[in-house]
Amino acid sequence: MLVWLVLGWSVCALAQTDPGRDLSRYADDKFGDDDKYTVETPYETVTVKQPRSRKVKNVIVMIGDGMCMETVTIGWTLNGGHLNLDNFPVAGYSRTYCTDRLITDSCAGGTAISSGAKTKYGYIGQDVDGKPFETLLHHAQKKGMRTGLAVTCRINDATPADFVCHAPDRHMEAEIAAQYVDSGVDFIVGGGRKFWDQREDGRNLIEEMKAKGYNFVEKREDMAGIHDGKLLGLFAPLDMDPCLDRGPVLEDSAEKALELLDNKKGFFLMIEGSQIDDWAHRNKVGYMAEEMFDFDKTIGKVLQWAEKDGHTLVIVTADHGTGGVTLVGGSLEDRSVKVHYSTKGHHGIVVPVFAYGPHAEDFVGVYENAELSQKIFKLLK
């Protein structure tokens, strides 16, 4: 009886103080420095047309790690109502849960995208019984296509490893890095150099890769001098700096990958906006937004190339959402936002899928993350 009396009093009190039922005003009463952000100068976006070709020669999968629809909307608002993502004629939604947990991680989430099957939390490139998957990248190699990875995290981190390596635990970082030596991947750019040349087993994986014919570069600017052959770029001891400090590494890496991978038999390329996730975990909306911008700028470069090529399928999606960020205030005209984060972890809400190029219409709808890559496998038969 006492519970009902208290509840009834609370409802009555709320009704008295808020007769207009405008409950949204209770959402934006407290904001810290990391919950607000304003962009002074927006960046220019590109405009491309959907190609008419039905032939899929090249496939580019772009993963915004931790990128949910809220992240996209925050980026769109801060850039004054424009994103390169606006060019995509087709959109869908992907369910991200894994086999043993409702809330996935980048290992299982990325593996589902790379392999066409869901797996256990923490598993990289292998099924629930520990059997290695043949991923989209491996399948492309079997077809004689060139392959590449470009990320801003360590190259042996979960998402890039999901496409190349096999492990039951993402923390097996030295073992995962060693698997790249015999992977045959044509273009590899990211961070994590310490796992290549400062190893406890005494191996120098960089020298091993060079012996296999790879061009090795340690700085973004050094890629400009490479115009053929395989490339290994390791630009940081661990993960790269935030995007405003590291410069246009992802954009330049994507453009160099397109230059080096383009050939008559086609290519498969995975590009990751890795640190959207990192800053969403930290609940810092400004850093998160800048990583979203960096990813979207790279999307613009890729779309311009794909439009000219005419036979390239471009898929943009996420492995999961992070931070539970909610846009609760701001101004489109002032390019400002106010947000609330509900968690420092991942969440289980569906993530967007954007498709451009031949057979883009195949990716409309709501489906499992594993179905996303199943669709791509069919197109690469």
Q: Which residues are the active-site residues?
A: 106
Smallest CA-to-CA distance from 273 within 356, 352, 159, 185 is with 159
Contact between 137 and 179 under an 8 Å Cβ cutoff? The reply is no
Contact between 105 and 158 under an 8 Å Cβ cutoff? The reply is yes
Contact between 89 and 48 under an 8 Å Cβ cutoff? The reply is no
Residues 6+ apart with CB under 8 A from 339: 35, 36, 74, 285, 325, 326, 327, 328, 329
User: What is the full DSSP assignment across 215-262?
Assistant: EEESSGGGGGG--SS-EEEE-SSSSPPPHHHH-SHHHHHHHHHHHHH-
For residues 84 and 332, give the distance between their C-alpha atoms in angstroms, rounded to a whole number: 17
Smallest CA-to-CA distance from 301 within 316, 290, 289 is with 316
Smallest CA-to-CA distance from 113 within 69, 146, 159 is with 159
Smallest CA-to-CA distance from 322 within 280, 283, 274 is with 280
**87 phi, psi to nearest 5 deg:** -75, -20
Smallest CA-to-CA distance from 84 within 271, 296, 248, 317 is with 296
